[in-house]
Amino acid sequence: MTFYPGQSLADAVREATAVLSDAGVPSPRVDAELLADHLLGVGLGRLRAMLLGDAAAPDGYGELVQERASRVPLQHITGVAYFRHLELRVGPGVFIPRPETESVVQLVIDHVAGMREPKVVDLGTGSGAIAGSIAHEVPGAHVHAVEYSTFAHAWAARNLEPLGVSLVQGDLRDALPEHNGTFDVVVSNPPYIPADAIPTEPEVALHDPPEALYGGGADGMELPTAAAASAARLLKPGGYFVMEHAEVQAQWIAGMLQRAGRWQQITTHFDLNGKERATSAILARVAPDE
Ligand SMILES: C[S@@+](CC[C@H](N)C(=O)[O-])C[C@H]1O[C@@H](n2cnc3c(N)ncnc32)[C@H](O)[C@@H]1O
């Protein structure tokens, strides 16, 4: 790598783009720019203007590029993940929120439109992306969040406290028993990857916590099934459950909800790339066999 003192910003970013590209980073130019901006703090628009002039590369840029070239996630280096309107603090031990989950939040926001003070819980909140966005975007909402991992819980606490979300550390299988039958919405992006489907991207395989990825059981469906059972426990009759999943799991999830015999209006939803990445359902007002 040929970074040197006094190098121009434009040269250094060009060099960084080549280094990141050789390392297989999917968006090398943008990452090279974002790393420079992380050090300069001027914003991407101004940084791009600076690239046209004779500004110098910031100290420490080569080291950050090297770290990213070793496939440490960009968000772990900058400490920030952008999700809808939020700037979340993230780092080792917490799942980096993904763009497709923004569509799941939108489903909740659309569902509660017109409701007064909806009561919502996010099971497996990770960084707090879903819970925090709902608290931020739905005025009057009472938002709760549950997270099992001690590390993720610490990141969530940092992100959710300023937004007034009520966070507990616990297992989504039995959390919040004192709130049984009281929620308008249960939302979850649980771990759902099958045990043998190890992700190929190093950022995911080596840096997302395993407890955020693998859903349990050969098909990865243990925790999604548990999340659905908890949703049936936590929701009011007529309440709304929505869960993210892998595209290939859409049919299985719909069948699982059907077989549970508690759900109506089971609906599969597409993300912005047209993939079946979420399923929602309404808790029946009276269980069919009662
Ligand atoms: C796929 S990540 C999603 C995180 C966040 N909701 C998001 O969308 O970015 C799943 C999260 O569930 C948490 N988790 C795993 N098992 C859990 C359990 N039994 N109870 C509660 N949370 C759990 C993981 O630690 C992780 O933070």
Q: How crowded is residue 40: how many other Cβ atoms within 10 Å of its Cβ?
A: 16
Establish whether 189 is a catalytic residue. Answer: yes
Helix H or strand E encompassing 235? strand 235-244
Regarding whether 259 and 172 lie in a shared domain, the answer is: yes
Establish whether 273 is a catalytic residue. Answer: no
Q: Which domain holds residue 29?
A: 9-70
For ligand 1, atom 6, the nearest C-alpha belongs to 125
Please indicate whether residue 132, judged by its CB atom, sits closer than 6 Å to ligand 1.
Answer: no
- Nearest-atom number in ligand 1 for the CA of 126 is 27
Tell which of 17, 44, 70 closes a domain: 70
Taking alpha carbons only, the member of 211, 278, 202 closest to residue 243 is 278
Report yes or no on 202 lying in a domain.
Answer: yes
Flag whether pLDDT at 284 surpasses 80. yes
Query: From ligand 1's centre to the CA of 158, what distance in Å?
Result: 16
Pick from 106, 149, 249 the residue to mutate for probing ligand 1's pocket: most ligand atoms within 8 Å of its CB.
Answer: 149
Regarding whether 96 and 49 lie in a shared domain, the answer is: no
Confidence grade of residue 287 (pLDDT, cut at 50, 70, 90): low
* 107-142 as b/e: b if 16+ CB within 10 A: bbbebbeeeeebbbbbbbbbbbbbbbbbbbbbeebb
Regarding whether 253 and 121 lie in a shared domain, the answer is: yes
Which one is predicted more confidently, 260 or 285? 260
pLDDT tens profile 6-49: 899 999 999 999 999 999 999 999 999 999 999 999 999 999 99
pLDDT tens profile 60-91: 999 999 999 999 999 999 999 999 999 999 99
Regarding whether 264 and 137 lie in a shared domain, the answer is: yes
CA distance 32 to 65: 7
Report yes or no on 75 lying in a domain.
Answer: no
Assign residue 119 the CATH number of its domain: 3.40.50.150
Model pLDDT, residue 5 = 86
Query: What's the chain's length in residues?
Result: 290
Average pLDDT estimate for 215-238? 97
Q: Which residue has the tokens 């966005």?
A: 133
Quote the pTM value. Answer: 0.95
Model pLDDT, residue 110 = 98
Tell which of 70, 98, 113 closes a domain: 70
Report yes or no on 4 lying in a domain.
Answer: no
Regarding whether 278 and 222 lie in a shared domain, the answer is: yes
Regarding whether 175 and 50 lie in a shared domain, the answer is: no
- End-to-end C-alpha distance for the chain, whole angstroms: 70
Regarding whether 37 and 174 lie in a shared domain, the answer is: no
**Catalytic annotation, pick one of 189, 191, 224, 241:** 189
**Catalytic annotation, pick one of 73, 190, 191, 224:** 190
Model pLDDT, residue 129 = 98
Model pLDDT, residue 289 = 53
Specify whether the CB–CB gap between 225 and 188 falls below 8 A: no
Report yes or no on 116 lying in a domain.
Answer: yes
Report yes or no on 261 lying in a domain.
Answer: yes
What single string gives the DSSP state of each residue in 245-269?
Answer: --GGGHHHHHHHHHHHT-EEEEEEE
For a pLDDT cut of 70, what percent of the chain falls above it?
A: 98
Confidence grade of residue 56 (pLDDT, cut at 50, 70, 90): very high
For residue 3, with 0-12 CB atoms within 10 Å meaning exposed, 13-18 middle and 19 or more buried, which class applies? middle
Report yes or no on 99 lying in a domain.
Answer: yes
Average pLDDT estimate for 162-173? 98
* 151-166 as b/e: b if 16+ CB within 10 A: ebbebbeebbeebebe
Confidence grade of residue 194 (pLDDT, cut at 50, 70, 90): very high
**Catalytic annotation, pick one of 83, 95, 183, 241:** 95
Tell which of 52, 70, 88 closes a domain: 70
Regarding whether 257 and 116 lie in a shared domain, the answer is: yes
Regarding whether 276 and 247 lie in a shared domain, the answer is: yes
Flag whether pLDDT at 262 surpasses 70. yes
Report yes or no on 289 lying in a domain.
Answer: no
Regarding whether 30 and 163 lie in a shared domain, the answer is: no
Number of structural domains found in the chain: 2
235-244/276-283 β-pairing:
antiparallel
- Nearest-atom number in ligand 1 for the CA of 149 is 25
Report yes or no on 288 lying in a domain.
Answer: no
Average pLDDT estimate for 249-260? 97
Flag whether pLDDT at 257 surpasses 80. yes
Please indicate whether residue 280, judged by its CB atom, sits closer than 6 Å to ligand 1.
Answer: no
Regarding whether 62 and 129 lie in a shared domain, the answer is: no
Please indicate whether residue 95, judged by its CB atom, sits closer than 6 Å to ligand 1.
Answer: yes
Model pLDDT, residue 1 = 57
Regarding whether 60 and 91 lie in a shared domain, the answer is: no
Model pLDDT, residue 185 = 98
Query: From ligand 1's centre to the CA of 271, what distance in Å?
Result: 20
> What are the distances in angstroms from CA 134 to CA 26, 94, 164?
30, 19, 11
- β-strand partners of 243: 188, 279
For a pLDDT cut of 90, what percent of the chain falls above it?
A: 94
Establish whether 270 is a catalytic residue. Answer: no
